[in-house]
Amino acid sequence: MAGAELEPVIGLEIHVQLRTATKMFCGCALGFGEPPNTRTCPVCLGLPGALPVANAEAIHYGLMIGMALESELAPISTFHRKNYFYPDLPKGYQISQFDLPLCSGGKLGEVNIHRVHIEEDAAKLNHAGASGRIEGADSSIVDFNRGGTPLAEIVTEPELGSAEQAGEWLRLLRTTLRTLGVSDVNMEEGSLRCDANISLRPVGTDQLGTKTELKNMNSFRFIERGIRAEVDRQRAIIEAGETVTQETLHFDPKSESITSLRSKEEAHDYRYFPEPDLPPVMITGEMLARASAALPELPAARELRYIEALSLSPESARLFAWRAELADYFDAVCAADKSLDRQLAANWVTELQGRLGEEEAEDSKVTAAALAQLAAMVASSQINQGGAKQVLDQLVAAGGDPAAIVADQGLEAVGGADELAPIVAAALEANPELTERLRGGDMKPIGVIIGEVMKQTRGRADGKEVTALVREQLGLS
Amino acid sequence: MIDRDELLHVARLARLALHEDELETTAAELSSILGHVAAIDQLDLDGVEPTAHIGDVSDSLRADQPRPSLAREVALAPAPAVRDDGFLVPSPQGE
Amino acid sequence: MASDIGALSAAAAAAAIADGGLARDELFEHYRARAAADQLNAFTWVAEAEPGAVDGPLGGVPLAVKDLFCTEGIPSQAGSKILAGYCPPYTATAVANLEAAGAPLLGKTNQDEFAMGSSNENSAYGPVLNPWDHGRVPGGSSGGSAAAVAGGLAPWALGTDTGGSIRQPAALCGIVGLKPTYGAVSRYGMIAFASSLDSAGPLTRDVTDAALCYRHLVGRDSADATSVAFPEPIEIPSSERLDGVKLAVPTALVEGEGIEPGVRASFEAALETARGLGATIISCEIPSAPYALSAYYVIAPAEASSNLSRFDGVRYGLRVEQAHLDEMYTETRHDGFGAEVKRRILIGTYALSSGYYDAYYGRAQRVRTVVAQDLASIFEQADMIVTPTSPTVAFGLGERTADPLSMYLSDLFTIPMSLAGTPAISIPSGLSEGLPVGLQICGPAFSENRILSAAHALEQAIGFDGSVTWGSD
Ligand SMILES: [Mg+2]
Ligand SMILES: [Zn+2]
């Protein structure tokens, strides 16, 4: 294999906490940040004799996700028990789905979906240090507040070709889920969690190499960096003529290092069997109609609308549609000034996002109204590109009103024959040699003249206007 | 029918300690039961669907309405070990 | 009146209270005192005073409840050391329903650990003795409930039946036990053995008491997704005839090996009685019956292995302290569970494990389908199926403990109905060698009214006298 060029094959497994009022199988209210063990009941504590009853709203959300991902929806969906012991799993099994998931197949963007199923979340295990009960024993504390939160597990086909593509697609998925309103999709709070299956194969083949599983990455940045690090690690192993071992890995974003999650790889045998406490769920026409009626405009439709109705460039349309927050911000900018050219508004939103990095535009100091005002000032030539960028820098840093910043700092465009003609004339006069060359038709020195004018106007002149004035004053056509 | 290694594997999955002096008799008992249970092999089950749930329940879902949770003291009362308002356990190994 | 209190059936006691002839607290105290002086080891907990009974149609007649029903603030140990002293924060729906109907909790009854057993010798709290002969077992797993009723320590009791655990001890103790249609009684708060088979039902002195209790047990419970509404009210039976009723006898099954001659004789006498009441007796076959036992001993342990995983020493119950998590789990479960429970956990884990699932669990579930079909086709030709409840009368303490398989055979006649989820009742059909013999009557799903009616007619005609045991202990 050594020598052949290798390409990554990446599949994603995403756990999404659903934003229902109550847990998956009991009536405990969902919460985030409540004092430990204050959101529990016999069911989610796994007390003897307690029984699960499935939350209709979680099934409804699952159907909405399936519809958004163009999945095939099961007419009958069953729950299974996935048996294993862990302190965060109160019953000794997780109620999940196995052979009849709610949604099978589907597609989002260019990536095929394998399946979507519904299950319950585990509780939270916090490390506590020495137990104090037995010498040398290390201990943990379990908080069952999160235990039993409804999850949708979305599994893609292994089709993603790079860390960047995985990150970009995950943003689209997040936007889709956010738009559906089925989840908070907050990676920091753990309502969206992502595992990646990664393997390498020689370019152009369809054989699959040994895959590793990178667990629980909790930000877009870490996902991309983690996948990149794991791809590099596997590439180094293969190029050294060794073989990759199948294992579960953890990426530490601080040290950029990858470690094996289980010291001794235990053979997993989950002993799945149909959950006898839960009858099969019949998906009725009524349930489907309700889910379908609840579907909002999804990213693909939004992208198309931006191109067709707003005449945005395909690049801007996709950028916004795949990042709902940005699209919402763009919509707000357009709403603030209905006469604004949409593409111009789009360009300034893009310009702003470029300065923000991971931060969302709506969370920045730049209000949609301020950005609309800035774009309008550019459109009416009250300010030129360079000046506008200076204003934007200041808005990002400290917020404020663009008109006031312009007035304060004298950033108005210097334009019109009255104001600019004498400055151009002076610049020509100060450079007789270059003026002669220009008069002779050699336009190369025009940059120097423009530079001189910009210097005099502190960047507030428009380059095109200066060029036109030079031609006019020198009698060039 | 079930040998020592298989027995230990199953006991490991079930998180049941089997002490050395229990292995032999346990293996013998399980083998005898499994031998009896193997009688089901004689029944022709071609084309027979499995029954996981008996009886028909159509409307088994629950409305998404919160109910009161247990007070924390009540939840923690039966726990063998408690610290910082949670259930104290030995840490899982390898993490 | 006080000296006659113990002679009253639950229904008669309720009536006596209603017409003012008997004081409710007098009734409670009569049974409380007897239960507290328990010589049968039938109780694991007895109330200290009447818990302030609710007015209701059950008239304040106290109720004994199998230990595996959760009762708020009261020990609910399921016969297991792993739950020693455990007091749940909630009450099982079945118990709450009977309490709300006016049956105050008298005490919790001993049982085979997690309902696994047919002799009540698998209890961490010691074996229960049969009131007919203290050297014999009461049957199981609801042996404490059966012995308490038969011994006159409780007017009636709640039990559970997974493969015969109400019917078989009822038969061995000479009382009435009803295993309902699966789903008719809520399982919420019943500590699970095998979820797809478990049913809660009454153990009573007579069929009328069974109907009265059952009337308040049934109903859809939103906390149990597998529970269903009973399609009609439960009637108090009054029939004394069986005219037009067709009873089917699975000939090969009841003529097979292992059935005691005295049991067979009592069964045949009961069939004669039925004929005399106008019933037609036909012969039928349950071809899958021999396989039903095997399927049961795969399905029940498989579900149990998963249901008992929650006993891990983390949130409640016994913990054997260890420095490492896995040792804490394995030693806690080693010490907390008894031998039979561990055996079934291992069998069940094996049957579900990778490579064996299809051969064991998958096949057993298919057998289940065939058993249900076999019974359904009999019910196309007959109203009910009748068999002896148990192939033997009560056997001696310790007689079968060494051989788990011989113990499993106790459930030969009761298991097909458990797999099919159909209701069945056991009533006393007479004595063999001075010990009670049970008759099982089984019908299709939700046929409880018809079963109770037929059982009532037979009970009247048979005239079995159980007072020899409930008069004393
Ligand atoms: Mg999952
Ligand atoms: Zn809960």
Per-residue pLDDT reduced to its tens digit, C165-184: 999 999 999 999 999 999 99
To probe the interface with A, which of B51, B82, B89, B93 has the most A CB atoms within 10 Å?
Answer: B89
User: For A127-144, what is the mean pLDDT?
Assistant: 82
Question: In the numeric block, which tokens belong to residue C3?
Answer: 């000296």
- Confidence bin at A449 (pLDDT 50/70/90): confident
Task: Band the pLDDT of A310: cuts 50, 70, 90.
Answer: very high
Q: Which residue has the higher pLDDT, A58 or C412?
A: A58
With CA atoms as reference, report the closest residue to A351 among A314, A390, A321.
Answer: A390
How does pLDDT run across B13-38, given as a tens digit for each residue? 999 999 999 999 999 999 999 998 88
Cα A212-A214-A219 angle, rounded to 5 deg: 155
Can you tell me the distance from the alpha carbon of C106 to that of B68, in angstroms, rounded to the nearest whole number? 29
Nearest chain A residue to C222 by CA distance is A53
A63-88: average pLDDT:
97
A43/B70 Cα distance (integer angstroms): 11
- The pLDDT of residue B22 is 93
Confidence check: pLDDT of C206 > 80: yes
pLDDT grade for A73, boundaries at 50, 70 and 90: very high
Q: Would an 8 Å CB–CB cutoff place C381 in contact with chain B?
A: no
Name the residue type at position C198: D
Provide the annotated active-site residues of C. 66, 141, 165
Interface test with B, best of A22, A25, A37, A102 (most B CBs within 10 A): A37
Is pLDDT of A290 > 70? Answer: yes
Considering the entire predicted model, what is its pTM? 0.91
User: Is beta strand A192-202 parallel, antiparallel or unpaired with respect to A80-83?
Assistant: unpaired
Tell me the C-alpha distance between A126 and A140, whole Å: 5
Distance from the first to the final alpha carbon of chain C? 20
Query: In residues, how long is chain A?
Result: 477
Task: For residues B59 and B46, give the distance between their C-alpha atoms in angstroms, rounded to a whole number.
Answer: 31
pLDDT the model gives residue A131: 65
- pLDDT at A97 exceeding the cut of 60: yes
Domain boundaries, chain C: 2-241, 292-368
Alpha-carbon dihedral sign for residues A333, A334, A337, A342: positive
Residues of A in contact with B90 (CB under 8 A): 131, 134, 137-140
CA distance A45 to B59: 25
Which residues are registered as beta bridge partners of C161?
A: C199
Residue A126, token pair as written in the block: 């916090």
In angstroms, the separation between the Cα of residue C257 and the nearest Cα of chain A is 34
At A266 the pLDDT is 56
Superfamily for the C2-241 domain: Amidase signature (AS) domain (3.90.1300.10)
- Please indicate if any CB of chain B lies within 8 Å of the CB of A289: no
Predicted confidence band of residue A359 (pLDDT cuts 50, 70, 90): confident
Helix (H, G, I), strand (E, B) or coil at C189: coil
Segments in chain B forming alpha helices (H): 4-13, 20-37, 72-76
- Residue C1 scores a pLDDT above 80: no
Chain B residues touching residue A53 (CB < 8 angstroms) = 60-62
Chains interfacing with A (3 or more CB pairs < 8 Å): B, C
Q: How far is the CA of A101 from the centre of ligand 1 (A)?
A: 12
Question: Residues with beta carbon < 5 A to ion ligand 1?
Answer: A 153
Q: Residue A105's closest CA among A69, A68, A62?
A: A69
- State both tokens at A200: 């390498």
Mean pLDDT of chain C: 96
pLDDT at residue A229 tops 70: yes
What percent of chain A has a predicted confidence (pLDDT) above 70? Answer: 96
- The residues spanned by each domain of chain A are 6-291, 299-409, 416-474
Name which of B9, B25, B33, B34 to mutate to probe chain C: the one with the most chain C Cβ atoms within 10 A of its Cβ.
B33
Q: Does C358 touch chain A (CB under 8 A)?
A: no
Q: For A397-415, what is each residue's pLDDT tens digit?
A: 999 999 998 888 877 777 6
Q: What does the pLDDT read at residue A265? A: 45
On whether the CB atoms of residues A427 and A445 are closer than 8 A, the answer is no
Dihedrals phi, psi of B85, to nearest 5 degrees: 60, 25
> What is the pLDDT at residue C33?
97
Return the amino acid letter for A194: C
Class of domain A416-474: mainly alpha
Residue A459, SS3? coil
Q: Which of residues 63-92 of C touch A (CB under 8 A)?
A: 68-70, 76, 78, 83, 86, 88-90, 92
Phi, psi of A460 (to 5 degrees): -90, -5
A45 Cβ neighbours under 8 A, 6+ residues apart: A90, A144, A147, B70, B75, C315
ipTM over 0.90: yes
Contact B88 A141 (CB under 8 A): yes
**pLDDT 10s digits, B33-80:** 999 888 888 889 999 999 999 987 777 999 999 999 999 999 999 999
